[in-house]
Structure 1
Amino acid sequence: MTILVTGGTGYIGSHTCVELLNAGLEIVIIDNLSNSSIQALNRMKEITGKEISFYKTDLLNKSEVERVFIEHQIEAVIHFAGYKSVGESVQAPLRYYHNNLTGTFILCEVMEKYGVHKMVFSSSATVYGLQDQTPLSENLPLQATNPYGRTKLMIEEILRDVYTANQNWSIALLRYFNPVGAHSSGRIGEDPNGIPNNLVPYITQVTAGKLSELSIFGNDYPTRDGTGIRDYIHVVDLAEGHVKALNKVMNSTGVNAYNLGTGSGYSVMEMVQAFEKVTGRRIPYKVIDRRPGDIGISYADATKADVELSWKASRGLMEMCEDSWRWQKNNPNGYKEELVTLSK
């Protein structure tokens, strides 16, 4: 079975590709490498010992997307490709709406043309917006609060309409919480451009001395230590969730949303303390004002994924920290140190 993975050299995409290959599936990757490295592709091959068909192209290039479907017998698509920075989306909303929505339109049009109706979509817990309750379940009203989150929410609604028009479609909408960690080999991991937006790569870069100190946004939340609590999930658990979701869509029709999280949360200070324990190093930090719109506690109700996908996160906090730190130590500048050549 051949699976098309859009955005397959990115952080979550690359880990998912490894799990797909380990499950005995063939994959084809489309990625424009705007926020990833071709070196991730080489390392996926190294980890799995498998070949991977790769197309350096953009989903906005419809003729090139069609070429992939002409040259391969695609049976399902896992759709990661899209811009993903909340802050950047606020500064450049039209760029985000054009890229994320139009790319999905073109992908779905080509899938429809070639009779491929199975999709796993990379959504996000940002579609829940600011809720006054936790845990967050899939049946809550959706209310994204920034352009990035709204692109995810709009695409979810578009995909529901696609199914209404043609009920051959089977689509899983995977709402991620806070992916962290890296492959246990230390060969693939999160490689942010510039200063990281997310907590864990920021912590690892401070620990490695690349950044001077960690900024903690508020310590006066109604939590056990005053810092915000989030549902951090190991990226390999997340990747395994995609394999389970793929199995589901291959054997059903309809559109279903699933939270992929652990169902519990860790505070910012608990993350800092865990990294200090793993690394044996002190992590300097300063507490600054809360960010507008941040809430104290957010974590998933992951019951539906357990019941319907037979999936549950299994890796704990220390494993998340150990794997994140191994990646940082082995790759102090991410993938950027290696000269690469692109064959296709």
Structure 2
Amino acid sequence: MKVLVTGGLGYIGSHTCIALHNAGITPVILDNLSNSSIHVLQQLHKICGQTFSFIEGDIRDQHQLEQIFKQQSFDAVFHFAALKAVGESCQQPRRYYENNVCGTVTLLDAMYNNDVTRIIFSSSATVYGEPQYLPIDEQHPISATNPYGWSKVMVEQILADNCQSDSQQLAISLRYFNPVGAHSSGLLGESPNGIPNNLMPYIAQTAVGKRAKVSVFGDDYDTNDGTGVRDYIHVMDLAEGHVAAFTNHQQDSGFLAYNLGTGQGYSVLEIIAAFSKASRQQIPFQMAPRRQGDIACNYADANLAKAKLGWQTKLTINDMTRDTWRWQQNYPQGL
């Protein structure tokens, strides 16, 4: 089988390419390199012993997408190509809607025109908005607290409506909680352009001396230590969740949604402490005001994925911090 992986050189997309390869599925990568590096290709080759096909392009380019689908036959699309920073989305909402929502519609048009009926979508737990109860299951009401989250909500609705209109269509929305970690080889990990928007890479860059200290946004949340609590999931567990979703729904249609998380929450200060242990140094940090759009606590009920996909996380917070530290030490400047 062969699949198109949009955003396949990005953090989650690239690790999913490894999981696809390990499962005997051939990924063809499409990426515009806006928040990724061409050097990821050589890292994938080192890890997998195989050169993956790569196309530099954009999901918003209808003509290019039509050419790609006409030239190659795909069994599905794994869709990771999206802007993903909460704070940035509040500052640049139109950019987020144009790329994440309009880009997905363009991709769906090209898929429809070329009889590709299956898409696995990179969604987010942000579609649940401010949690009404914990842990969050797939029946939790849908909402959002920022434009990034709303872009995911909108795409999920588009996918559901598309499946409703055509009984041949399958869309699987995978609602991530907080992906962290790196490949155990130390050859591939999260390598954001500029200042990291997420906690773990910022801690890692601080540990390696690239950043002076970690800013902890908010110390007055209703949590054990006042800092935000999140469900952190190792990126390789997450990648294998994508493969499980695809392989377990080969003959199905309709819109399906699954949470991918561990079911356990860790606070910002607990993550800093775990990373301090992994790196054998104290990570300097300072308290800062809350960020717009952030929520206090968020963690998953992932029992549906376990029951329907036979998938559950295997890797712990110690694995997450250890693998991130190994990656950051090997590539202190990223790729």
CA separation in 2, counterparts of 1:44 and 1:58?
21
1:207-286, aligned counterparts within 5 Å?
207-286=207-286
SS in 2 for 1:321: helix
SS in 2 for 1:175: strand
CA separation in 2, counterparts of 1:94 and 1:36?
21
Which digits, 9 at most, give the CA deviation of each residue in 1:72-117, with x for residues without a partner?
1111110111111112211111111111122111111111111110
Kindly tell me: are residues 240 and 282 of structure 1, through their superposed partners in 2, closer, same or farther at Cα, counting changes over 3 Å? same
| Residues 231 and 265, structure 1, Cα contact 8 Å, conserved in 2 | yes
CA separation in 2, counterparts of 1:223 and 1:259?
22
* 282-291 vs 272-281, greater mean Cα deviation: 282-291
Which digits, 9 at most, give the CA deviation of each residue in 1:197-217, with x for residues without a partner?
111111111111111111112
Shift of 1:251: 2.4
The equivalent residue for 2:114 is: 114
| Residues 173 and 258, structure 1, Cα contact 8 Å, conserved in 2 | yes
* 45-54 vs 174-183, greater mean Cα deviation: 45-54
Which digits, 9 at most, give the CA deviation of each residue in 1:291-311, with x for residues without a partner?
345333210010111111111
Structure 2, unmatched stretches of 5+, are: none
Shift of 1:120: 0.3
The equivalent residue for 2:99 is: 99
- Counterpart of 1:309, as a letter, is L
- Counterpart of 1:158, as a letter, is I
* 221-230 vs 317-326, greater mean Cα deviation: 221-230
* 295-304 vs 256-265, greater mean Cα deviation: 295-304
Which digits, 9 at most, give the CA deviation of each residue in 1:248-304, with x for residues without a partner?
332211111111000111111111111111111111111223334533321001011
Over aligned residues, Cα RMSD in angstroms? 1.2
Structure 1, unmatched stretches of 5+, are: 336-344
The equivalent residue for 1:174 is: 174
CA separation in 1, counterparts of 2:228 and 2:105?
36
CA separation in 1, counterparts of 2:118 and 2:15?
20
The equivalent residue for 1:55 is: 55
SS in 1 for 2:210: coil
CA separation in 2, counterparts of 1:36 and 1:96?
17
CA separation in 2, counterparts of 1:327 and 1:21?
21
| Residues 146 and 293, structure 2, Cα contact 8 Å, conserved in 1 | no
| Residues 130 and 293, structure 1, Cα contact 8 Å, conserved in 2 | no
- Counterpart of 2:45, as a letter, is K
CA separation in 2, counterparts of 1:139 and 1:189?
32
| Residues 7 and 82, structure 1, Cα contact 8 Å, conserved in 2 | yes
The equivalent residue for 1:294 is: 294
* 209-218 vs 160-169, greater mean Cα deviation: 209-218
TM-score when normalising by structure 2 = 0.97
1:1-344, aligned counterparts within 5 Å?
1-335=1-335
Percentage of identical aligned residues? 52
Shift of 1:220: 3.2
* 185-194 vs 287-296, greater mean Cα deviation: 287-296
CA separation in 2, counterparts of 1:255 and 1:276?
42
CA separation in 2, counterparts of 1:297 and 1:95?
27
Which digits, 9 at most, give the CA deviation of each residue in 1:109-150, with x for residues without a partner?
111111110110001111111123211111111111211111
SS in 2 for 1:240: helix
